[in-house]
Structure 1
Amino acid sequence: MTPLALIVEDEVAIAEILDRYLVREGFRTARAYDGQVGLDLHASLKPDVVLLDVMLPRINGWGVLSELRRRGDTPVLIMTALDQDVDKLQALRTGADDYVVKPFSAVEVVARVQAILRRTSGMAPDRLIRVDALEIDPESYIATVRTGDQINHIDTTLTEFRILEFMARHPMRVFSRGELADACLPNEDALDRTVDSHISKLRRKLTAAGMEKALKGVRGVGYRLNAR
């Protein structure tokens, strides 16, 4: 059954972005913009995973998490701008399954949600992403190209890996530079030429690993990752 993700986040723009990316990866979604509504929806919908902000109206995230743990063991990913070690420890000690600090990449959040579900229920799909000879492990941040019996590792930067993973989830789809920047460079004021530079370096690395024509530019639109 398709997993249901409950997003409890009072910033509408962030909730909408997460919703869009989760749906794209095959999730059903529900949203709440304050802690009390989040608890009400949890009781009525019985979601498979909760994405929970900390700074929420009515009942804050810590209160929501405590109540969720009193009710049962629904997996919870905490999302917050608080990045001190004490905050992370509080989240984990209160029963959170994982913790991500804002600003974050929506791609990373979805990957963390999938990892949580793999650990807790086995509902998420195989973690490896494969496009022809290309194989990507989102949890280990490892990308390889298999040619016959030979395995070539692609030495990417974090941004290059995010771009490659993002595109590999939807091979043959053309992504605009803006889409790639929003998804993979969330903390940067990225210009088109910044995306072009990352793509150019990634294309060279893929070529060196044996996938010469994997990344293709589409004039006036953006880029796509080819699949045979």
Structure 2
Amino acid sequence: MRRPWWTVALTGALALAGCTGPADADPTPTRVNLPLENGVTTTSAPPPPAATSPAPADGGAVGVQEVGFPVDLSVVAWCACGGPDGQLQVKVKPSLTHRSGGDASIGVGNFRLVVAGADVAGWSGLTAAGQAPFVLPDDTLGEVAYIPANKDGWSQRLGDAWTFATHWDASTLPAGGRYLDEGVKRGDLVFYVPTGSDEVVVLAGLALMSEDGSTAIGWAPRESWGAEGDPNAF
């Protein structure tokens, strides 16, 4: 069956040294159910990010209404490669701009990599606050896992090398503020993605969650990320 979203397979070709995944075709815009303030709703993908929320329609049916996210979230560099315990490592460098009032929480614990096909029971990442992946139903993908980023500075042995580490020092973003650290090994997040029985996962996008983790306040769909890069260059 054809997968319309960007997929990555855990194979021998995904060696840590090169950290190079399969050729990256232009992905079709994903549709993912994201938890928003007014309930779990469907989002459609072309950047800039836009979400949808249910709205009453004629006759009491549920319609769709476009709303915006408080934080513009994008991924300026990324790579997927082999990781420990049959998992993938996905490294991303996000850029954020806060469009609403007040401060937005943008600590490591606020980010989730949204993935279909992940076996969350096999996740072995480490977070500062003891967070773990959670799974939500999805109209198109069946269900998706929300995987937290590894804690700042943590890595582990992987053969003769080490896994990549998260490097993140931001915690809040004021109204009108922007965060992007263009340095190498600065301002990047690493996620462990446990694969399912077919060793294929679907990367749907990167979500920024509210402080309590209940709602998405920013969304960078996978098709807006561009081509993979060298993980040692960011």
Scaled by the length of structure 1, the TM-score of the pair is 0.24
Scaled by the length of structure 2, the TM-score of the pair is 0.23
Structure with more of its chain in strand, by fraction:
2
Structure with more of its chain in helix, by fraction:
1
Q: Which has the larger radius of gyration?
A: 1
